């Protein structure tokens, strides 16, 4: 068992890829899974910039952390950024009691209610399937959205 620990992963070139911080961890050799209490994972992009912070009361991960189930006040925050096409992407925050994160594919699923906040817009739903690469969110079950109007810029006369 580990207590109050930090584990960093690096790319083959030596660039920091992610950092896992936890209060306590247990390894289960029979399933090759790791259970972490009070967990936070910081993910970094190619330029070394912090891009995503995911945290929860508990997490259950496979051995290579490509699949992590966060539970208890789970939250994933993608910081505002410019994507590969140069388009601005505002900060995105996903909250719920359960988030199933697929780190390789940049996907998040939840079979429990979630709230998404993107910029000034907020959406809540009963379930979620989110693909960060395509920027598509499939929301089902009592979907409710607050999408504030954006001012229309007037051209000079």
Least confident stretch, 65-74, 76-85, 86-95: 76-85
* Domain assignment present for 31: yes
CA diameter of the chain:
72
- Between CA 101 and CA 99 the distance in angstroms is 6
* Domain assignment present for 74: yes
pLDDT given for residue 155 in this prediction:
61
- Between CA 132 and CA 74 the distance in angstroms is 17
- Between CA 132 and CA 92 the distance in angstroms is 10
pLDDT confidence band for 29 (50 / 70 / 90): very high
* Domain assignment present for 56: yes
Tens of pLDDT along 44-67? Answer: 877 777 888 899 999 999 887 788
Q: Any idea of the CA torsion for 16, 107, 63, 26, to the nearest 10 degrees?
A: 90
Structural domain boundaries, residue 51: 2-112
* Domain assignment present for 139: no
CA-to-CA separations, 15 to 31, 33, 54, 86, in angstroms, rounded: 30, 25, 20, 23
**Any idea what the CATH number is for the domain that residue 32 is in?**
2.60.450.10
* Domain assignment present for 120: no
DSSP states along 29-61: TTTTEEEEEEEEEEEE-TTS-EEEEEEEEEEEE
Give which of 16, 142, 51, 39 is closest to 99, Cα–Cα. 39
* Domain assignment present for 128: no
* Model confidence at 156: pLDDT above 80: no
Give which of 26, 55, 50, 52 is closest to 40, Cα–Cα. 55
Q: Give SS3 for 100.
A: strand
| Contact assessment for residue 151 and residue 119, using Cβ atoms and an 8 Å cutoff | no
* Domain assignment present for 155: no
* Domain assignment present for 26: yes
How many domains is the chain partitioned into structurally? 1
Tens of pLDDT along 122-154? Answer: 999 999 999 988 889 999 999 999 988 876 656
């Amino acid at each position: 068992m580990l207590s109050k620990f930090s584990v960093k992963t690096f790319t083959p070139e030596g660039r920091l890829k992610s950092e896992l911080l936890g209060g306590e961890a247990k390894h289960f050799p029979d399933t090759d899974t790791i259970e972490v209490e009070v967990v936070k994972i910081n993910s970094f992009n190619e330029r070394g910039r912090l891009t995503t912070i995911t945290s929860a009361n508990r997490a259950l991960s496979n051995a290579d952390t490509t699949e992590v189930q966060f539970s208890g006040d789970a939250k994933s925050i993608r910081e505002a950024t410019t994507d590969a096409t140069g388009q601005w992407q505002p900060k995105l925050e996903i909250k719920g009691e359960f988030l199933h994160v697929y780190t390789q594919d940049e996907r998040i699923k939840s079979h429990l209610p979630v709230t998404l906040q993107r910029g000034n817009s907020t959406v809540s739903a009963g379930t979620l399937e989110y693909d960060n690469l395509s920027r598509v969110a499939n929301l089902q079950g009592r979907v409710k959205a607050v999408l504030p109007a954006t001012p229309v810029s007037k051209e000079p006369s």
